[in-house]
Amino acid sequence: MPKRKRVLKIYQQSNKIKNGLFFILKVVLGILGSLILVGVSIFLFYAKDLPRPEKFTEAQLIQATKIYDRTGEIVLSSIYQEEKRTYLDLEKFPEILKEAIIATEDARFYQHPGVDFKAGLRALMVDLKLRAPKQGGSTITQQLIRSIFLTNEKTIERKLKEIILAIELDKKYSKEQILEWYLNQIPFGINIYGAQEASLTYFEKPIWEISLAQSAILAAIIKAPGYLSPYGEHLDELLSRKNYVLNRMQQENFIGEEEAEAAKKSEVEFSKLPKTLAPHFITFVRQQLEEKYGEKFLETKGLKIYTTLDWGLQKKAEEIVRKGVEKNKKAFGAYNGALVAIEPESGGILAMVGSADPNAESFPLGCNPRKTCKFVPDFNVATQGERQPGSSFKPFVYATAFSKGFDDKTIVLDEETNFGVFGGKAYIPQNYDGRFRGPVTLREALAQSLNVPSVKVLNNLAGLKDSIGLAKLMGITTLEQEPSFYGLSLVLGGGGVKLLDMVASYSVFANNGFRISPSPILKIEDAKGNIIYQNKKTPKKVLESSVCDLITDVLSDNQARSPIFGENSSLRFDEQKVAVKTGTSDDYVDAWTIGYAKNIVTGVWVGNNDNSAIVRGLGISTAGPIWRAFMEEAINKD
């Protein structure tokens, strides 16, 4: 081929390549231009909504969520009726608090432009790895934007708006100004907004006086203000989160190892639970609502929560428990008590008293609430405490035996019996009075609460595994160990249970074998009166009606129990059939009385928070009078 033609061909090929590359470049630039144009359009669309500076210091109008009793006439509590806030300049907040929050919520706060894309990408990778949105990634600036102007809904539009507004806010205002707004705006649980109000509420001191440990507590609460409230049921998780905050502060070189360890060991004391109506019940309700709807929804939507609480019975329950415990203090050294009443047909909680007096001081004064206090006012024994039920657990075992074809006339031998080795020693249970009666019927054994025959019923008739299975079906939620862990002492109360669970489980006996899980809420309306939740739980059959009838007949048989309890004990009711069982744990630590009529089931616990023994205080003599007084009020109501 001539040289000129070869050069021409190479030139033509080169032009084709150049034209191709130029075309690709034009396409790429076109796409990039379109993306930039779309991005600018999105940015301009959302940036126009950037709030003016004054917005961050103005109280936002909200609709309070109100919690009512079952009639809708008594307002028990309001959620965010007003935002309790005391606005402070940034210099008023201690450095340890700022450092605790920055270390935990946004370590690169002073480096990023309002959005930490690096941290966000890292959080996304973790979420993808876990296949669930577990990680955070929102900066302090983003949280501030979201807390005032946006919701927590997980949409791309909301996230884009949050990112753009955060970047724009960071461009317009200093980091110090953003941090000041943040410290005054964020929620800390109940209706507390801002770190100053949180410090005044939880520690009864201004924010500039708080310690390192208290700063870590406040920083810990931010993650989930309702769930991690010091007044809720998750104090252990709050304290664990506090230690996490301290670890993060150490990692960011805000504090040294010695300071961190000292703060971890420091016991933080919280002020008393703010006075409110039915406080333990309200805390229980709010925790369920926050799990279902989230704090933001409750804060802004003006809901009306109609609870199952009977305010008349609740007031009586509080008064009766308080007076009963006052007597028990002097007579038995029992400083606390709790009561739960349930409507068996619906599972509705009619009354809940979590301690003798939620507004009193812990006893003895200066005690450690988690270790040495006989009485802790803000601890809800009804829902939080796992206590030994004593003989009040026996009906579950007898019901299991009855379900297998045995009846109240079945004979067992009441005599000293060695049931083998358990816990490294021979298990030889005794009856309360130390006597043995020879052959007894199951009616006599249950009604008189005889221990040796009851262990035989568990061992020979009912079976350990099946008895635990039935107890769980009926509503006991705490027996999670292998059956061998509890052994034959289970029938005498050898497994920890909650008062609420016990009352709910006894409701099955009162409700012809149907199980309905306990609930504190009847219905929920939105601000316009539309019903968004209606309690329509479906009953589940877990026990034959004939077994329930037999248990009820035995537990209401005053003649059968008279040899032990006497003919005119506090358990006797002549007006209508009332079934009841008492219980006293080993070493007299816990005392119980649980019983029911047709329309109400009531359980009472008496004891000390520190698990110290009460002085020969049986269930019949300590919890029995409280239970009796309340049941009389409930049965004769209206």
The larger pLDDT score, comparing residue 113 to residue 515, is at: 515
In this predicted structure, the answer to whether residue 132 has a pLDDT above a threshold of 50 is no
Q: Are residues 508 and 380 in the same domain?
A: yes
Do residues 563 and 580 lie in contact, with contact meaning Cβ atoms separated by under 8 Å?
no
Task: Please count the other Cβ atoms lying within 10 Å of the Cβ belonging to residue 359.
Answer: 13
Q: Are residues 353 and 449 in the same domain?
A: yes
Q: What is the pTM of this model?
A: 0.70
In this predicted structure, the answer to whether residue 83 has a pLDDT above a threshold of 80 is no
Q: What share of the chain is helix, strand, coil (3-state, %, to 5)?
A: 50, 15, 40
Domain assignment present for residue 307? The answer is no
* Mean predicted confidence (pLDDT) in 499-528: 96
Nearest to 382 by CA among 540, 594, 203, 133: 594
Could you tell me the CATH number of the domain that includes residue 348?
3.40.710.10
Q: What is the pLDDT of residue 312?
A: 97
Do residues 146 and 152 lie in contact, with contact meaning Cβ atoms separated by under 8 Å?
yes
In this predicted structure, the answer to whether residue 257 has a pLDDT above a threshold of 90 is yes
What percentage of the chain reaches a pLDDT higher than 90? Answer: 67
Q: Are residues 368 and 506 in the same domain?
A: yes
Nearest-angstrom CA–CA distance, 32 and 633: 77
Residue appearing with tokens 């796409």: 31
Q: What is the pLDDT of residue 49?
A: 54
Nearest-angstrom CA–CA distance, 449 and 463: 18
Which one of 243, 274, 305 terminates a domain? Answer: 274
Q: What is the pLDDT of residue 301?
A: 79
Domain assignment present for residue 25? The answer is no
Domain assignment present for residue 409? The answer is yes
Q: What is the pLDDT of residue 350?
A: 99
Please, what is the average pLDDT of the chain? 88
Structure tokens at 615: 């002085």
Q: Are residues 245 and 391 in the same domain?
A: no
Q: Are residues 244 and 336 in the same domain?
A: no
Q: What is the pLDDT of residue 126?
A: 52
Structure tokens at 532: 């968004």
- Are β-strands 304-307 and 65-68 bridged in parallel, bridged antiparallel, or unpaired? parallel
pLDDT digit string, tens, across residues 31-65? 665 655 655 566 566 555 555 544 554 544 456 68
Domain assignment present for residue 283? The answer is no
Nearest to 381 by CA among 603, 123, 159: 603
Q: Are residues 202 and 98 in the same domain?
A: yes
The residues, ordered by sequence, that sit 6+ positions from 440 with a Cβ below 8 Å of its Cβ are: 411, 412, 413, 414, 448, 450, 453
The residues, ordered by sequence, that sit 6+ positions from 539 with a Cβ below 8 Å of its Cβ are: 511, 514, 515, 516
Nearest-angstrom CA–CA distance, 436 and 464: 24
Nearest-angstrom CA–CA distance, 548 and 282: 32
CA atoms within a 13 Å half-sphere pointing along the CA-CB vector of 233 = 20
Nearest to 451 by CA among 486, 490, 480, 424: 490
In this predicted structure, the answer to whether residue 429 has a pLDDT above a threshold of 70 is yes
Domain assignment present for residue 231? The answer is yes
Nearest-angstrom CA–CA distance, 384 and 386: 7
Helices and strands (H, E) in the chain, number of each type: 22, 16
pLDDT digit string, tens, across residues 539-560? 999 999 999 999 999 999 999 9
Domain assignment present for residue 28? The answer is no
Q: Are residues 262 and 339 in the same domain?
A: no
Could you tell me the CATH number of the domain that includes residue 171?
1.10.3810.10
Specify the 3-state DSSP secondary structure of 521.
Answer: strand
**Which residue type is seen at 424?**
G
Q: Are residues 253 and 135 in the same domain?
A: yes
pLDDT digit string, tens, across residues 210-223? 999 999 999 999 99
**Which residue type is seen at 563?**
P
Angstrom CA distances, 266 to 216, 261, 528, stand at: 11, 9, 48
Find the domain containing 218 and state its range.
83-274
Task: Please count the other Cβ atoms lying within 10 Å of the Cβ belonging to residue 589.
Answer: 19
Q: What is the pLDDT of residue 513?
A: 98
Nearest-angstrom CA–CA distance, 141 and 148: 11
pLDDT digit string, tens, across residues 278-288? 999 999 999 99
**Which residue type is seen at 576?**
Q
Do residues 626 and 324 lie in contact, with contact meaning Cβ atoms separated by under 8 Å?
yes
Q: Are residues 345 and 441 in the same domain?
A: yes
**Which segment of 58-72, 79-93, 313-327 scores lowest on mean pLDDT?**
58-72
Which one of 207, 240, 274 terminates a domain? Answer: 274
Total tally of structural domains belonging to the chain: 2
Which one of 247, 274, 301 terminates a domain? Answer: 274
Domain assignment present for residue 345? The answer is yes
Q: Are residues 499 and 586 in the same domain?
A: yes
* Mean predicted confidence (pLDDT) in 619-625: 94
Domain assignment present for residue 59? The answer is no
Q: Are residues 210 and 329 in the same domain?
A: no
Q: Are residues 347 and 250 in the same domain?
A: no
